[in-house]
Amino acid sequence: MAENLEGGCACGAVRYRLASPPMFVHCCHCRDCQRQTGSAFVLNALIEADRVALLSGDVKEITVPTESGRGQKIYRCASCEIAVWSVYGGIDKLRFVRVGTLDDPAALTPDVHIYVRSKLPWVKLPEGVPAFDAYYDSKTLWPAASLERRRAIFG
């Protein structure tokens, strides 16, 4: 499994380290993620907030609307404004770390592809990785150890 799970922003001010591998990794093809990244999808590593150590720099948050109405808080480097992680629905204990900001983005691969109903047509999904038109049921898909970690967050 992944060893060096450190990352940072473009200007170098923000540096962070994940204390462990994430619980699960999403590749999200929804329109919101496409718009926010200016790309075809986003890669999010879902991990407990207390396992993300901010080593240097300052992050600032900005809230953007989501379909659920609960909003997404995007955390950006205060200097170069590169987004490094997000919090959805006000669940601050759970972070969605942007895998592309890792020093080695190949260290984590998607466990699931979601919102493939808006996947760009030229993106070919790998065989053997679950894919869903919209969201999915984490209870049936996550490994037991990750579900255990999730329960510790949500009680």
Among 43, 77, 83, 116, interactor with Zn ion by CB under 5 A: 77
Do residues 25 and 5 lie in contact, with contact meaning Cβ atoms separated by under 8 Å? no
Q: Does 153 bind Zn ion (CB under 5 A)?
A: no
CA pair distance 48, 46, nearest whole angstrom: 7
Which of 11, 53, 62, 129 lies at the binding interface for Zn ion (CB under 5 A)? 11
Kindly tell me which of 86 and 146 has the beta carbon lying closer to Zn ion. 86
Cβ-Cβ contacts under 8 Å for 155 (sequence gap 6 or more) = none
Interface with Zn ion: number of residues (CB under 5 A): 9
Coil, strand or helix at 21: coil
Q: Are 118 and 30 in contact (CB under 8 A)?
A: yes
Q: Encoding tokens for residue 56?
A: 């240097």
Q: Could you give phi then psi for residue 65, rounded to 5 degrees?
A: -70, 150
User: Per rule CB under 5 A, is residue 79 in the interface with Zn ion?
Assistant: yes
> Site for Zn ion (CB under 5 A): which residue of 18, 25, 27, 30?
30
Please pick, from the candidates 2, 40, 49, 80, the single residue that binds Zn ion as defined by CB under 5 A. 80
- Out of 13, 131, 141, 147, the only residue in the binding site for Zn ion (CB under 5 A) is 13
Is residue 54 near Zn ion by the rule CB under 5 A? Answer: no
- Cβ of 82: how many Cβ atoms within 10 Å? 17
Counting contacts by CB under 5 A, is residue 112 touching Zn ion? no
> CB of residue 29 vs Zn ion: minimum separation in angstroms?
7
Supply the DSSP symbol for 125.
P
Binding site for Zn ion (CB under 5 A): 9, 11, 13, 28, 30, 33, 77, 79-80
